[in-house]
Chain A
Amino acid sequence: MLEIKNLKASINNRQILKGLNLSIKPGEVHAVMGPNGSGKSTLANVLSGKNGYEISGELNFEGKSLKKIPVEERAQKGIFLAFQYPLEIPGVNTNNFLKTSLNSIRKANGDKELDTLSFLKLVKEKSLELGIDEKILSRQLNVGFSGGEKKKNEILQMKILNPSFSILDETDSGLDIDALKIIANGVNSSRDKKKSFLVITHYQRLLDYIKPDFVHILSDGKIVKTGCSELAEELEKTGYKNFN
């Protein structure tokens, strides 16, 4: 599904990713852990296509290079990024935003756009499944949301847009245990043979709830170690310093 070879990325002449290799197959859940400044968020940004980075190396999604594909087209192809800091957009109703988003993606894939009624039905079903109060959806997008509400909203969006590849950028940061379970449940209930996930996190805690197939340790712009979920537990005990 995703093939990354010798990926280098710089911003403002500063190199952040320094030759990263990663391969994710359909149905797999990968966790990326690493200290502050190791390039975790840069990886998420580069995969989603954010402007401003100088990129070299290979970056292939479903057999095709992503390098010249703009952000929205990557999203339409099935790449979803749950933001570390979801943006507030005043005056824009969350439901309306989600519907516009879903229909843009459907349209790009040649699917019929959902009418308001079927959309609301879908929203109701998904929010019930996740245990999220759908009231937040009638508010302005992320405006006045608590940290937890913002993250839950990201996961609800993920459920509704139903992407084939989801990146969670430190979605667990700053969450209480109940919210953490909702996030984990959002991922676990979506797992199937076709969907893949890249879960970026600081802490092993999230991985108690989402069992990854692989854990990678990112340090100074490179993956320095790859293992299975035990690696995360080891890391929790010894810290990152042994992996530099």
Chain B
Amino acid sequence: MKQQELKKIKDYKYGFTTDIESIRAPKGLNEEVIKFISKIKKEPKWMLDWRMKAFNRLKNIKEPNWQKPKYPKINYQNLYYYSAPKSAKDKPKSLDEVDPKLIETYKKLGIPLKEQEKLAGVAVDAVFDSVSVATTFKDKLTEKGIIFCPISEAIQKHPNLVKKYLGSVIPITDHYFATLNSAVFTDGSFVYIPEGVRCPMELSTYFRINASETGQFERTLIIADKGSYVSYLEGCTAPMRDENQLHAANVELVALDDAEIKYSTVQNWYPGDKDGKGGIYNFVTKRGACRGKNSKISWTQVETGSAITWKYPSCILQGDNSVGEFYSIAITNNHQKADTGTKMIHRGKNTKSKIISKGISAGKADNTYRGLVDISKKASNSRNYTQCDSLLMGNKCGAHTVPYIKNKNSSSTVEHEATTSKINEEQLYYCNQRGLNQEEAVGLIVNGFCKEVLQQLPMEFAVEAQKLVGISLEGSVG
């Protein structure tokens, strides 16, 4: 990394930059660019047609603007929609060349050295690479008939599955950002779990590093066939920097009869500097369809990064007796803004949903929970339980709860509880008196506040996430 660049990002404690290679699609959003992406990904014609359909739709729609955090107008013609992943020669040669602040954060998170190198984008010699480990796991998955690959590969190798399910949960006509993603997505993950198979490992635990360069328009599709189970981890507690300000990913989940999908996210994108300059806009569309009876989809998210987080991981409960869950921690500090929550759409009978949201706001940040519980006429005996807790630190931040509830079925019940509290000076004093410094004390209290959500995370993720919660709020008190 160049000294000059290091200096420039001095205040961004978790960041790193590397030179971007110059293989890029020309600037701007037009048919040529979409063809370019499709060609470089060696896509079949049906895929290009699908993208074009989305692109044509995009011309006639506008960005939504009902959200609380406002942002400057995005000039879509001024963005690059494809750039090649960095080549090894442009990467830092060792951790010594990486921002020491970043390394410090990795250490705080307890990330092993080998992983640190990968996360920081260090060019790792193949001999020392843990490729063999990854291969072992890949073999194990293949043995069970599980498909886990980049979606670009799935489009070529498993076209029938992709054709059947892509866009079936988030239609290409859904809304501006989802449509934009459908037109220009570059890559992402594809998962298929065959009937009756329980995926033997947390997916992406061992692969998360390889999935870190999927670009700003990521597309993920996970299909759990009848009676199967999968737990998928997205993102990383380790801080991530990206040249692209706008991130508009689409994630679609499909659970068939008796299947279960557990989807966990830890998002720690660059939040911008102390004055709120820069930072990622994370405008993601995540939606799962509980298509079969007795199916279950559970979203868990820990959102600590980005300048603006705007997302509502949702469940469409179509199958009878299906279950949707949403567990969320959204932490905003300095000038960060979040407008996040979920939608639980009850369509089948005896469907259940549970929403646990923990919003923490510090500095001058603004945190909104927005959620919809929609129970249709046919969804008899359905139930929802919602709990929204907000924690404020200092007196310049904001917390808002905006629940929308539609219940058209008299046999169904909806419960909503909400609390707002301020971090208590006396609690901090008590912790300090027991030898904990201010940051440890805040970390402890906030982790206690978030406990119900942290418990939902897979073990190895949970430990890192706990530390991250503390680190995200560093400097927010005292």
State whether the Cβ of B244 lies closer than 8 Å to any Cβ in chain A.
no
Interface string of B434-472 (1 = CB under 8 A from A): 111110100011011111100000000000000000000
Interface string of B79-115 (1 = CB under 8 A from A): 0000000000000000000000000000000000000
Known: A50-B429, A104-B440. A89 touches B435 (CB 8 A): no
State whether the Cβ of B426 lies closer than 8 Å to any Cβ in chain A.
yes
Contact of A71 among B427, B432, B452 (CB under 8 A): B432
State whether the Cβ of A95 lies closer than 8 Å to any Cβ in chain B.
no
Which residue of chain B has the shortest Cβ distance to A52 in the bound complex?
B425
Which residue of chain A has the shortest Cβ distance to B445 in the bound complex?
A89
Q: How far is the CB of B381 from chain A (nearest CB, A)?
A: 32
Interface string of A102-119 (1 = CB under 8 A from B): 101100100000000000
Asked if residues A91 and B448 are in contact (CB atoms below 8 Å), the reply is yes
Asked if residues B424 and A87 are in contact (CB atoms below 8 Å), the reply is yes
Asked if residues A71 and B429 are in contact (CB atoms below 8 Å), the reply is yes
Residues of A within 8 A of B432 (CB): 49, 70-72, 75
Interface string of A45-59 (1 = CB under 8 A from B): 000111100000000
Interface string of B348-391 (1 = CB under 8 A from A): 00000000000000000000000000000000000000000000
State whether the Cβ of A19 lies closer than 8 Å to any Cβ in chain B.
no
Residues of A within 8 A of B450 (CB): 91
Q: How far is the CB of B237 from chain A (nearest CB, A)?
A: 20
Which residue of chain A has the shortest Cβ distance to B358 in the bound complex?
A91
Interface string of A10-49 (1 = CB under 8 A from B): 0000000000000000000000000000000000000011
Bound CA span A85–B437, Å: 21
Asked if residues A101 and B435 are in contact (CB atoms below 8 Å), the reply is yes
Which residue of chain B has the shortest Cβ distance to A141 in the bound complex?
B448
| A-B contact number at CB 8 A | 73
| Residue of B440, B448, B449 with most chain A CB atoms under a 10 A cut-off | B448
Residues of A within 8 A of B426 (CB): 87
Asked if residues A81 and B433 are in contact (CB atoms below 8 Å), the reply is yes
| Residue of B434, B444, B448, B451 with most chain A CB atoms under a 10 A cut-off | B434
Contact of A91 among B429, B430, B431, B449 (CB under 8 A): B449
Asked if residues A90 and B449 are in contact (CB atoms below 8 Å), the reply is yes
State whether the Cβ of A100 lies closer than 8 Å to any Cβ in chain B.
yes
Bound CA span A105–B440, Å: 12
A-B contact pairs, 14 of them (CB 8 A): A50-B429, A72-B436, A75-B433, A80-B433, A86-B430, A87-B429, A89-B431, A91-B447, A91-B450, A92-B448, A97-B431, A101-B434, A101-B435, A104-B437
Residues of A within 8 A of B445 (CB): 89, 92
Residues of A within 8 A of B427 (CB): 87, 89
Known: A71-B429, A89-B427. A157 touches B434 (CB 8 A): yes
Asked if residues A97 and B447 are in contact (CB atoms below 8 Å), the reply is no
Q: How far is the CB of B296 from chain A (nearest CB, A)?
A: 25
- State which size class the interface on A falls in: 20 to 34
Bound CA span A72–B445, Å: 16
Q: How far is the CB of A98 from chain B (nearest CB, A)?
A: 8
Residues of B within 8 A of A76 (CB): 435
Bound CA span A157–B449, Å: 22
Which residue of chain B has the shortest Cβ distance to A71 in the bound complex?
B432
Residues of B within 8 A of A104 (CB): 434-437, 440
Contact of B429 among A51, A90, A102 (CB under 8 A): A51
Q: How far is the CB of B294 from chain A (nearest CB, A)?
A: 32
Which residue of chain B has the shortest Cβ distance to A108 in the bound complex?
B435
14 additional A-B pairs beyond A49-B432, A75-B434, A92-B451, beta carbons within 8 Å, are A51-B429, A75-B435, A83-B430, A89-B431, A91-B448, A91-B450, A91-B452, A92-B447, A100-B444, A102-B435, A105-B434, A108-B435, A140-B448, A157-B434
Bound CA span A80–B432, Å: 11
State whether the Cβ of A161 lies closer than 8 Å to any Cβ in chain B.
yes
Residues of B within 8 A of A50 (CB): 429
Asked if residues A87 and B430 are in contact (CB atoms below 8 Å), the reply is yes
Bound CA span A92–B470, Å: 14
Bound CA span A75–B438, Å: 13
Known: A75-B435, A87-B424, A92-B448. A100 touches B430 (CB 8 A): no
Interface string of B281-323 (1 = CB under 8 A from A): 0000000000000000000000000000000000000000000
Which residue of chain A has the shortest Cβ distance to B427 in the bound complex?
A87
Bound CA span A87–B441, Å: 13
Q: How far is the CB of B467 from chain A (nearest CB, A)?
A: 12
Residues of B within 8 A of A86 (CB): 430
Asked if residues B434 and A89 are in contact (CB atoms below 8 Å), the reply is no
Asked if residues A89 and B444 are in contact (CB atoms below 8 Å), the reply is yes
Asked if residues B447 and A72 are in contact (CB atoms below 8 Å), the reply is no
Q: How far is the CB of B278 from chain A (nearest CB, A)?
A: 33
Bound CA span A73–B215, Å: 46
Residues of B within 8 A of A91 (CB): 447-452
Bound CA span A161–B449, Å: 25
Which residue of chain A has the shortest Cβ distance to B454 in the bound complex?
A91
Bound CA span A100–B445, Å: 12
Which residue of chain A has the shortest Cβ distance to B424 in the bound complex?
A87
Bound CA span A150–B424, Å: 18
Asked if residues B430 and A105 are in contact (CB atoms below 8 Å), the reply is no
Rank and list the top 9 A-B pairs by shortest CB-CB distance, nearest first: A91-B448, A92-B448, A71-B432, A91-B451, A101-B434, A105-B435, A87-B430, A104-B435, A75-B435
Q: How far is the CB of A177 from chain B (nearest CB, A)?
A: 27
